[in-house]
Each structure stands twice: as structure tokens, then as C-alpha cells.
Amino acid sequence: MGLNFRNSTSETIFVAYAYPDFSCSPVNYATIGWYRIEPGQSRQVWSGYAGGNTFFYYAESDSYTWSGGYYTDIPNDAFNQCWDSDCNDCRELGFRRVPVGSSVRNYTVVLISSSSRSKKGLIHLRTALPTKPGKRLVRRVPLKARKLASGRPVLAKRRAVPKKRRR
């Protein structure tokens, strides 16, 4: 059970995500990263029941970026911090929203590079294309998180983003 990311590209991907955390205020989300995912591999980032929660994520590789309109400051080294934390040497990155249905125990975001690899109609799986270069996004802030079912972030095996990838 949990939240997983699958790399269906030919490049190594680094993922950061946000999860509900009621010790954070005024935005009840914490961000955590960086998870390195090799081509063809999957990584569990949330352990426990994923259903009924809303998560946010940002991912990048050498050639692709998966981003959205929910912006926050993220460090380049491994981190676990509240959404609105101030930090030095951070990048402002836009996260995508992932609402998980309440009946879903295990959810996977599949990061793909082309629409030919897309799968539709599965409630426990979401395929995600990279963000189009130059696409303007509306800036948003996550709404207050709902009470979540038991679960926790997976803290092991996080890394820093390689210097050549930092933008």
C-alpha cells in the first residue's frame, strides 16, 4: 500500500512530492525529496493507505520536467520540510496535484515521455506527460488538507539532485 512513482522513460528521474502534514501551518503540507528513480524502476514514497489523500509532485530528468502550478521553494539536497519553509540556495518549483480516490489503497504515478505510453481508465494509476516548454502556469497554493488515513513518507534512499541538473 502507498504512493509510488514509476519511471517509464529512458532517463534517470528525480522526484519530490508533498503530503498532508498537520504540524505544518498555514499550508498543511510537507515536501520531501529527492528520490532517484532509474529507467524502468518504481519507487514507493508513501507507506500506508494512499486513498482519500491529495498529494503533489515535481519530477525532472536531463531532458524532461513534470511540473504544475503549485509553487514552493525546494533545496537541491535531500530534504523534508513544511510547504512554506524558507531556505537558502533553493529553487522555486511548481508541483502537480494528485487527488487519490478514497477507495484506492495503492496509487502509482507513471512518468512517461510520450503519449503513446499512456494508459487510461485505471483508478489506481495515472500516467503523466512532461510539461510543455514555455507553458505558462497559474500560481496556486494547496487547500487545507483533509484528515488522512494512516500512512507516512518513506525517508530512506533520498539524494541530492546532481549539479548538472539544477536549473
Quick: pLDDT tens for 53-85. Answer: 999 999 999 999 999 999 999 999 999 999 988
The model's pLDDT over 143-155, given as tens digits with 9 standing for 90+, comes to 666 665 567 787 7
**pLDDT class for 45, splitting at 50, 70, 90?**
very high
| Cα dihedral 136/59/44/101 (nearest 10) | 10
> Domain spans of the chain?
2-161
Is pLDDT at 158 greater than 90 in this prediction?
A: no
Q: What is the reported pTM? A: 0.80
DSSP 132: P
